[in-house]
Structures are given as C-alpha cells and as structure tokens.
Structure 1
C-alpha cells in the first residue's frame, strides 16, 4: 500500500483538525490520485534521535506536515508524541535556554492534539517557548502554536482554521458496480455506524455532528485560554484562516516577521 493512500486511509472516517484543502487531498488520495502537494516520501533520519536542533542554546523542534497521534517524524508528517518527547527533553536539558516550535503544517488528527497542547501550556514559565511559523499553522497546528508564549508569523504565512472536520468516505456505489456486497453482523445498534460500505444515515450524522461540536468547543476554549481571548471571539472566526498581519490584528499571533528575524529577536531577548 502506498504511503499517500495509507495516510489517507488512517485519517478518513475520524475527526480532524485539518484545513479544508488538505481534506480534499486526502479524498483525492483515496480515489487513487496523488497530487504533487500530497507526495509523501522519505524516512525518519537517524540524526533526529535527539528530536530537536540546538542553536545558541535554543532548541528547535520541527512541527511539519500532517500531524498525527504517533512517535515518529518525517518531512511530510509529525507525530504528537514525537513533539512532546522533544519538548520535555528540551525543558530538562541544561544547555537549552529557550524552545522554538518551527511550524509549517495544515493540521491533522484531533486524537492526541489537545493533550500535547496542554503539555506545552503547562511548560510555560520554565523556559521561553516561541512558535515561529516558517509558513502556516492551521487547525491542529494552530492549537499547538497557541500554547506557546509567543507566535510569530511571516507576511505570507497563515494562522487560524480553529475548527474540526470529519470526512465520511462512502464506497457503497463503487462496491455495487464492482459486484461486492458487504453484510455487517453486529451486537449493538450503532456498532457499524459510519462505516464506508454504506451511506451515512441521518441519525448517525446527527450523532457524529454532536461529537464534532464537542471537539470544536474544546478547540475554541483551549485557544481562548492559551491566547487570553474570549471564547466568543475565537468561536466567531468560524474556522477562517488569516494571512500574516490579519492574524495579529485578531489576536491569533503576536508579530509579523520572517523566521530568521523572529529567531534573532528571541536571541536578543535572551541576551
């Protein structure tokens, strides 16, 4: 099974904190199409064992690509546990004076995201933690960024997409055409709800919507806490994305700077 299809299969039929354009790419991968922006490849490098780079006493933890619940990292995807392990190691490392979350991500899985966000938030006050965006921090990636002491976004970078999406994949028509019939034998009326072999029923949709609403409220409340904003203001963004200065104006970021300038600003602050 190809890497794009395997990741798409993993992320389908479950709640995601992921920007819509990447959801469309997941759907394309499930149809057997692999657009260039979704070209997965590579492997975990041995030099990533430390899980962060160290420059002038600043630990740099990459938060790149699709985010998922796991303890691995590649150029196109990063696991929440991988980030947590690096963060906690940097917090306890006497060589580390500050931590940078180097973020460029459209978001990813809801599962595991908010536990990591709470860990980062709990580490505030031990060492400076900055989220420096090399481009975007959307959805789950923004949740992570919001837990930092400071968020710096480049002019062409984006913040926001504070929302949750669930993609139900319905294979039933394709299976009918192929002459394949699936029969579910279950214990419990709701056991097979949301399966990809049947259309989504109205009742199942309502139950899944209630779950999505609960997760969305958690997202809103978490960002409101992290950024010292009202939940009403955060909810009012309605999962919109904000480019550069617009994110600063609404309170989702603190300053607009190129990544290298942001890193130098952190070094100047450290003295």
Structure 2
C-alpha cells in the first residue's frame, strides 16, 4: 500500500513538472513569435525602419477621433525619419475627428518636412487633413474640395403615425435633445442647428483661406461644397502640383533639402495587437500543441470577438456622390 502511495505522489510531481515546462516553453515560443511578428509586420517595420528614410503615412476611409493615431503621429515627430509623405484617400468624416487629425499633422509639420499626396479623394474632412501640409500633390483625376459642414438626422414622424406609435417625453427646455427624429423639427431647433453648421463652416473656410493663401473671391469659388478634379484644383489653388509620390519626394529634395535617394517606408498608424492576426492564431496553435487547447481557443475566439463598430456622431465634414449636390 505504501508503495502505491509513493508511485501516485511521484506521478503527481512529474505531472506538475511537465505542466511547468510546457507552460514555460509556450511562453518562450509566443515571445519569439511576437518578436518576429513585430519585425516582419507593417507595424514593426514602421517602428524600426523610419530611421534614415522618408516615412509614408496612409490616411484612408472615414475620419473620426482616434487617440491611437494621435499618439502614433507624436512618435513619428520624435523619430529619426528625415521627412513625411502623407497619402490621403478619404471622403472626410466627423468635424471633430478631422480637426484632431489636422492639428496632429500641423504639429508633425512643425518638426518634419511634410508633403501630401492625394491618391484618389481628399474631400471635406479629407481636404481639411490635406491642407495641414505646405505642399499638396494630386493626380489629374483625383477629387478634392467639398469644403463644407453637414448635419443630418432621420425623421420618423410619418412612419410613427402610420404604425400608431407616439413618443412622449419630459424635458427641461424646448431645445433639449432637439431635433430627435420623432416629431417635426421646430423652427427654433432648425435655427439652432443652422447656427452650429454655419459656425463650423466659417471655421473651415477660415483655415482653408489661411493655409492656401486665398483672398475672399478665390475662397468663394471653391467653398460651395463642390469637389474638383486635380486639373481644376491646381488653377483654383486647392493643390500645388499634379503628380504622384515621386513628385512629392522630388519636392522634398528640392525645397526642404531632404537627402536624395532616401527610401520611402511605410509608417503604420494606430498599431494594435489586432493587426497581428497571424500572431493570435499562432499563439492558439502553440497552446494546443502543449495540451492547453482550451486556453488556445479562448485566445483565438477572444480576438475574433473584437469588432470595430464605426459611429459617426455630431456634425460631419463628409462627401459622397449621393449628397454632392
């Protein structure tokens, strides 16, 4: 009986030791994968290779407030990058998000030579972003402009009447939460919204006028909400040059004394763990190989459960073909 007890104790000790070494090996493998992932991924390359090069930053899609992006641009300010090329392909976004990005790029421009390249579209908040640079390059067929501010909200009044639903409310003052979409918009609420839109529009026009060196007459030609092709925009002073990244780099060399033949390397904005999908999957495989499949599944499923929901709140500086007129 004593012999059986000793065997059981020894087996338990062996099992604990085996579990310890499995976990330790898994941690080492995961750390190695993370290091390799950081080196080979765009995030890692952006962090390690901007030294002695021109950093390429891509601004794409809808623009909203993003503190990760602000911090990434601040890191770029303090990097060893010789200059920055900002590629923009955006219809705009929220006024607050566009202003935040504009301010970040203005701070970056104060420390690094910077030029903007319009890939296909720099409209509304996207154009607000572009004018942070002292020089804007666009292709002939690119679309730029759409200087203006928009406030949209759905009104379900007629639908509620049809289905027989009435929304009741108690509020502290007539303009609280107005308009709400559940009742006709009052003249007072519409006037309050109109004042907000006009104030933001005046601010937007003011920075365009200042940054692009326009007089009032020149500004009025471009500030009616329209977009213009690159060919039109150059005569209207919305951009400075027709061309692509090569033309932008050449401008940096000629006008900002950036060393010739420096490589242009991507600098990833908003680096997040979720960008390294392969790392999450590899981690799951490692845990499974060491008999810890339950933990591996939790890691993989936890990453997949992170869904980025885009919300546009408040006033918009946004262009779309449907709303172009």
2:175 paired residue among 187, 190, 194: 190
Determine which of 44, 65, 68 is the counterpart of 2:64.
Answer: 68
The C-alpha deviation readout for 1:130-185, integer Å capped at 9, x for no partner, is: 11111110000101100112111111101111111111210122222233221111
* Cα displacement (A) at 1:218: 0.2
**Whole-Å separation in 1 of the counterparts to 2:132 and 2:253:** 22
Q: Distance in 2 between matches of 1:203 and 1:188?
A: 12
Contact kept, 8 Å, 1:98 with 1:129, in 2: the verdict is yes
Structure with the bigger percentage of helix: 2
TM-score (norm 2): 0.60
Q: CA deviation at 1:248?
A: 0.9
Quickly say closer, same or farther: Cα 1:57–1:127, change in 2 above 3 A: same
Q: Tell me the CA shift for residue 129 of structure 1.
A: 1.0
C-alpha spacing 1:125/1:111, structure 2 compared with 1 (3 Å): closer
1:238-253 map, 5 Å? 238-253=224-239
Mapped partners of 1:229, 1:85: distance in 2: 32
Q: 1:112 to 1:67 in 2, by over 3 A?
A: closer
- What's the CA shift for 1:246? 1.0
Segments of structure 2 that go 5 or more residues without pairing to the other structure are 1-37, 261-325
Aligned position for 2:75: 89
Q: 1:88 to 1:49 in 2, by over 3 A?
A: same
Take 1:165 and 1:176, find their aligned partners in 2: how far apart are those partners? 28
* 2:170 is aligned with 1:174: no
Contact 2:175/2:188 (<8 A) preserved: no
Out of 254, 267, 270, the position equivalent to 2:240 is 254
Question: Which structure shows the higher strand fraction?
Answer: 1
Report deviation, 1:192: 2.6
- TM-superposed CA distance for 1:193, in Å, is 0.9
What is residue 213 of structure 1 aligned with on the other side?
Answer: 198
Please provide the CA RMSD for this pair.
2.5
Q: Which residue matches 2:83? A: 98
- CA distances 1:21-66 after superposition (whole Å, capped 9, x unpaired): xxxxxxxxxxxxxxxxxxxxxxxxx956569686771222211111
Query: CA separation in 1, counterparts of 2:139 and 2:97?
Result: 27
1:130–1:52 CA distance, 2 compared to 1 (3 A): farther
Using a 3 Å threshold, how does the CA distance of structure 1 residues 51 and 106 change in structure 2: closer, same or farther? farther
- SS at 2:169's partner residue? coil
1:142 to 127, 133, 138: 127
- Gap runs ≥5 in structure 1: 1-45, 72-80
Shift in alpha-carbon separation, 1:110–1:50, aligned structure 2, 3 A? farther
Q: CA deviation at 1:264?
A: 4.4
Equivalents in 1 of 2:183, 2:212: separation in Å? 42
How many residues of Structure 1 are paired with residues of Structure 2 in the alignment?
A: 215
Tell me which of 120, 126, 141 is aligned to 2:105.
Answer: 120
Distance in 2, matches of 1:194 and 1:52, equals: 45
C-alpha distance 267-232 of structure 1, shift in aligned 2 (>3 A): closer
Does residue 154 (structure 1) correspond to residue 117 (structure 2)? The answer is no
